[in-house]
Structure 1
Amino acid sequence: MSQDGSVNLFVCVVEEGSFSAAARVLGVAPSSVARQIQQLEQALGARLFQRTTRKQSLTEAGELYYRHARRAAEELEAARRGIARMTGAPAGVLTVTAEADLAVALISPLLPAFLQEYPEVKVRLLLSSALSDLVDGRIDLAVRMGQLKDSSLVARKLFESRSQLCASPAYVKAHGRPAHPLDLAGHQCLSFRTSAGRTHWRFATPDGPCEVPVSGPVQANGLEFLKSLAISGCGIAMLPEWIAGKELERGGLVALLDGFPSLPAGTPVSAVYAERRQLEPKTRAFVDFLAARLAGR
């Protein structure tokens, strides 16, 4: 193993918290990580980790080595980025954060083609609903739904997300089909919320916008979860078309209130990154790739 490789592997083990977690990030077997750490310890003549059956922690020598190794890894990464900018070839670890629903429905199906097109890029995907500090978190890119509020970030819109009210055929058969948004007051509604409280759905009507308070057996902050409940007949859900589209085509869900479009008419889904004079090739390649394949959804 090269000196650069041993430094990066050691830093990865420390920051991921375990040999197995580092192995998943690096795409190697945990036994390989353990073997390389053992070789590093032998080369240094010191034990770096205190390992038990339940946990792993740094020794005093490990703490000292990590402080220097972290700086060395950052310098090596800065050098690699500089060379990548010079050559223009997308390469290195691309760290992306996205909400779980966006990652599963939109990013996961596209990743194999991206990795095949850019074999020198490795993707590290963090599933989070929070817009993490991209700079301090060393995150290259976030994929988010909604308007951008932080002026220090740049957002490139990938597509416009539109929502559809839907339920299962079994629910419609048992409870009837609402004819007007106000009818939803008498239905079991499955609402998306990130905190406790009452949910309101808004619709466009011939008489102007109509806001309806809805309630039902479940509130959740996961769209895929709400979709599965709707399919099982638990109630009516307001879902993005990119979540519900396949089930609407298959008949697992049926569209409701087609004559009353939900408001807002569309919500941007964007690639968000820290403002820089020039994006790294790996980041630009991924943003361009997503924009090309998600346009027109």
Structure 2
Amino acid sequence: MIQGASISLFVCVVEEGSFSAAARVLGVAPSSVARQIQQLESALGARLFQRTTRKQSLSEAGELYYRHAKRAAEELDAARSGIARMTGAPAGVLTVTVEPDLAVALISPLLPEFLRGHPEVKVKLLFSSPIADLVEGRIDLAIRMGQLKDSSLVARKLFDSHSQLYASPAYLKAQGTPAHPSDLAGHQCLSFRTSAGPSFWRFDTPDGPCDVPVSGPVQANGLAFLKALAVSGCGVVMMPEWAVREQLDNGSLVPLLAEFVSLPAGTPVSAVYAERRQLEPKTRAFVDFLTARLPKS
């Protein structure tokens, strides 16, 4: 008899692309995945995968079986989720989409504690665009920065993100320390950009909001990349305080113009999920955990 777990494992292997990738998601050894697939093939009397030393692909029988197994796995997940809601026990695979910078700085340090407290939950992180479709992608939760635009989603604010200017001591020694936002015109500024066009940094000054045009050798849409450049002395960077805590502690970056608040003064970081009458216990448990552990500002 073919067990539901074998069907779910087969679907996971197909969607993850390999035995080893599925093993990482499921938290088991690759040899265990291979053994269960072999048992499934024996039970079906057909080879599901075509394997070579370089790649793995579905056989014709595997394609047919996947179409039916996918629906069966979804029904099994729905049944497990329904039972979990009845019992109130967090369980199952929690799929979360989050930007890589947020994942590394904020989620990664906390995840081991969450998993220890909820051993029946497995977390699948997707480092994808913040506009990923949660319903179509069957994603339980997104961690996003900025205001919520999709009215069909629900956002629970985790904390406010505050940005500031930073530079390395070596850069400041060579180029001098700006005393006013207007001084940035004479500095190499490393800009976070997701679209083309001129860059402006906005500050709150005694004379009101001030837009400062900035330029420099690099524009990028990755905080970790820009932070590494700033540490190496390439220029001044503006980024959230949570992204540079380690560098502030070890002195590789120092804050600049702290008396001038960068605008917007606070950007919400929220847990976002599709509107439902009742959150699944695994999702609610993770949101409650993040709310309790993350700093509020």
What TM-score results when the alignment is normalised by the length of structure 1? Answer: 0.97
Q: State the partner residue of 1:35.
A: 35
- Paired with 1:102 and 1:84, the residues of 2 have a C-alpha distance of 29
For residues 257-276 of structure 1, what are the structure 2 equivalents within 5 Å?
257-276=257-276
Query: 2:108 aligns to what?
Result: 108
Task: Give the deviation of 1:24 after TM superposition.
Answer: 1.5
What corresponds to 1:195 in structure 2?
195
Which residue matches 1:149? 149
- SS of the residue aligned with 2:79? helix
Give me the whole-angstrom Cα distance separating, in 2, the residues matched to 1:245 and 1:51: 46
- Tell me the number of residue pairs that the alignment of Structure 1 and Structure 2 aligns: 297
Aligned to 1:284: 284
Do the aligned residues in 2 keep the contact of 1:190 with 1:237 (CA within 8 Å)?
yes
Deviation at 1:52, TM superposition (A): 1.8
Q: How does 1:50-129 map to 2 (within 5 A)?
A: 50-129=50-129
Q: CA deviation at 1:238?
A: 0.2
Q: Who is 2:159 aligned against?
A: 159
CA RMSD of aligned residues (A): 1.3
Please give the secondary structure, in 2, of the residue aligned with 1:130. coil
Where structure 1 has 5 or more consecutive residues not aligned to the other structure, the ranges are none
Question: Aligned in 2, Cα 1:107/1:2: closer, same or farther, shift over 3 Å?
Answer: farther
Question: Residue type of the partner of 1:76?
Answer: L
Per-residue deviation, residues 153-186 of structure 1 (Å, max 9, x unmatched): 1110000000110101111111011111111011
SS in structure 2 at match of 1:233: coil
SS of 1:137 mapped into structure 2 = coil
- Counterpart residue type for residue 252 of structure 1: S
Q: Which amino acid aligns with 1:20?
A: S
C-alpha distance after superposition, 1:29-75 (max 9, x if no partner): 22221221111111111111112222222222111211111111111
- How far 1:129 moved relative to its partner? 2.9
Q: Deviations over 1:195-214 (max 9, x none)?
A: 33321100001111000111
* Corresponding position of 1:182: 182
Inter-partner Cα distance in structure 1 for 2:275 and 2:295 = 23
TM-score normalized with structure 2 length: 0.97
State whether structure 2 residue 18 is matched by structure 1 residue 18.
Answer: yes
Distance of 2:201 and 2:139 partners within structure 1: 34
Shift of residue 128, structure 1, vs aligned partner: 1.5
Question: Match of 2:109, SS?
Answer: coil
The range that moved more, 151-160 or 1-10, is 1-10
- What's the offset of the Cα at 1:2? 6.3
Distance 1:243 1:270, change over 3 A: same
**Per-residue deviation, 1:20:** 1.7
Higher mean alpha-carbon deviation, 26-35 vs 205-214, is at 26-35
Contact 1:100 1:129 in 2 (8 A): no
Question: Cα offset for 1:25?
Answer: 1.1
Q: Secondary structure at the match of 1:110?
A: helix
CA distance in 2, matches of 1:5, 1:189: 53
- Do the aligned partners of 1:164 and 1:240 also contact (CA within 8 Å) in 2? yes
Cα offsets for 1:94-142 (capped at 9, x unmatched)? 0001000000000000001101111111100111233211111111000
Distance 2:170 2:78 in 1: 57
SS of equivalent to 1:165? strand
CA separation of 1:291 and 1:2: change in aligned 2, threshold 3 A = farther
Q: Give distance in 1, aligned partners of 2:254 and 2:10.
A: 52
8 A contact 2:158–2:294 mirrored in 1: yes
User: Counterparts of 2:148 and 2:252 in 1: how far apart (Å)?
Assistant: 34
